[in-house]
Amino acid sequence: MAATVVFLGGCSSELGEPRDGSATGDATTAGDAMVAVDAMAPDDGFAALDLAMEPRDSGTPIECGDGVVEGDEECDDGNTTNGDECSSECRRTYACPALPVECDGATATTSEHHLAEVDGCSFALLAPDAADVAERRALIAALVERSAGRRSIGDVLGDLNRQGRAGIGDDNAYRLRNHEFRGFRWNTGDEAVSYWYPQGITSSSDAAAAGVVDGRNALMVSWYHRTEERPTKGVRISLADITNLADVDYRHLLLVQPTGTPAAPDFGPVESGSGNALHAGGIVWWGDLLYVADTGGGIRVFDLGNIMRVPNVDDADRVGIGSGRFDAHGYRYAVPELMRFRRAGCSLRFSFLALDRSSSPPALVSGEYATPDIDGRIAIWDLDPETGLPDVRSGEVRASAAYVGGQSRMQGAVRYEGNVYISSSSQYERWGRLYRTRPGFGESSITAWVYGAEDLTIDRASDTIWTPAEHPGDRDTVGIPIRRP
């Protein structure tokens, strides 16, 4: 039969982590892909993409290389030559050498403030195993059934429980005094908490072509649990309604890793292989998908179409199912991991992640932090514009373009209208800089940027570029008008 790829589109005194029912968050308040699987029912609402076709009928001869796409052929370019985007078996491929590849083209010598192009074919992501994703889908369904029910992003936007503060802090405001900045601050508990650090950012402008979700202009920010505790609490996501920046409400959701079996499901925190919380240095929201950077592993995908309402929120130390309870470290909502795109090809770190919706096709933008060196790379990964899914060909994704950034301490990068914007920390004394460049441009233009600058996202409607600042006491989430190089 045909195989189809389907993407499913507390009670403590801890600072900044109140019991989820509290809206104040004051310090004193308690509280790591695409696969072939059987198609989902039409009313599941998730996009499907065919990657594996029906086997040929032995009674109907089909000739690969005759220039006619027929039967189970994915392409037919009139030849049977490999390496030209249509293989000798008429399967879509990249015009790249087969893995493993030589890595001579994976880096380039450049000078500071100069973007340099390198070979995108050097970098690859592998699709996950079909059986693994089929099992994961069944496991998520079992978890949802044991929770207090499936919820949508719209549901959560209607149930925000924390109040942000209008404006940004004086220090960052002075730094950005020559820009028409806008932004907000978290509540006092989240502003000061020392063991949760904000990193990645994405927006409703990423999530939807119209730029709004459920009529709201929204941001998501990822925080990792910075602690020596084991296990950690992993990663949480803040969903903030910024439709009115004078009145910002938000809520934290916990990202979770499903475990167990459909008959005995469980879940735990999202961590790296070392046992640390996943750094989650970049995130991208597209429809019911949440892409999360996995520094050493590639890209993880979480299922925003199966947000679970958590029935038990009175114990910030408990996570998972047991003793008749369903807990997510005191958070009311949990978002399960669905699948992973695993790093292959030449070595590349996934320190941050962003989305270019202005390009055709749209693309993920990943990159790597390096210090004091300036040789961190940026890679572009094309998406299907209809589904937001990576362009998988013969089980892999190759970068469509790649660059050496020419900047130290890159914390984020995004491409927009052909230009590349790089967010780097600690460039002038403690302050960050936002670099503006494009391939072949020459020396990057420089914009003053905040202390503790991190990942980037673009709000297309207002032509604003946003970042979350990470350090306690200076945690402004701030945007400025985009300037071209």
Q: Residue 29 pLDDT > 70, yes or no?
A: no
Are the C-beta atoms of residues 463 and 211 closer than 8 Å to each other? no
Are the C-beta atoms of residues 13 and 22 closer than 8 Å to each other? no
Choose the weakest-confidence range: 127-141, 293-307, 329-343, 469-483: 127-141
Residues 195-206 have pLDDT tens digits of 999 999 999 999
State the Cα–Cα distance between residues 305 and 290, nearest whole angstrom. 10
In this prediction the pTM is 0.88
Q: Residue 97 pLDDT > 90, yes or no?
A: yes
Judge if the upstream peptide bond of residue 472 is cis by omega within 30 degrees of 0.
no
Residues 204-247 have pLDDT tens digits of 999 999 999 999 999 999 999 999 999 999 999 999 999 999 99
Q: Which two tokens stand for residue 23?
A: 């809206």
| pLDDT band, very low/low/confident/very high, at 73 (cuts 50, 70, 90) | confident
Choose the weakest-confidence range: 73-82, 221-230, 249-258, 333-342: 73-82
Amino acid (1-letter code) at residue 249: D
Q: Find how far residue 99's CA is from the centre of its chain.
A: 25
Q: Tell which residue, 234, 161, 229, has the closest CA to residue 197.
A: 234
Q: Domain spanning 123-481: which CATH class is it, in words?
A: mainly beta
| pLDDT band, very low/low/confident/very high, at 89 (cuts 50, 70, 90) | confident
Give the HSE-up count for residue 44: Cα atoms under 13 Å, Cβ half-sphere. 19
Are the C-beta atoms of residues 380 and 122 closer than 8 Å to each other? no
pLDDT of residue 42: 30
Q: Which two tokens stand for residue 355?
A: 């989305």
Give the HSE-up count for residue 194: Cα atoms under 13 Å, Cβ half-sphere. 2
| pLDDT band, very low/low/confident/very high, at 390 (cuts 50, 70, 90) | very high
Q: Tell which residue, 438, 441, 433, has the closest CA to residue 420.
A: 438
State residue 300 phi and psi, 5-degree precision: -100, 150
| pLDDT band, very low/low/confident/very high, at 48 (cuts 50, 70, 90) | very low
Judge if the upstream peptide bond of residue 231 is cis by omega within 30 degrees of 0.
yes
Residue 61 to residues 52, 74, 77, 90, Cα–Cα distance (Å): 19, 16, 18, 14
| pLDDT band, very low/low/confident/very high, at 389 (cuts 50, 70, 90) | confident
Q: Residue 182 pLDDT > 70, yes or no?
A: yes
pLDDT of residue 59: 53
pLDDT of residue 128: 86
Amino acid (1-letter code) at residue 12: S
Q: Tell which residue, 485, 481, 423, 434, has the closest CA to residue 200.
A: 423
Residues 416-440 have pLDDT tens digits of 999 999 999 999 999 999 999 999 9
pLDDT of residue 72: 81
| pLDDT band, very low/low/confident/very high, at 2 (cuts 50, 70, 90) | very low
249-260/333-345 β-pairing: parallel
Q: Residue 105 pLDDT > 90, yes or no?
A: yes
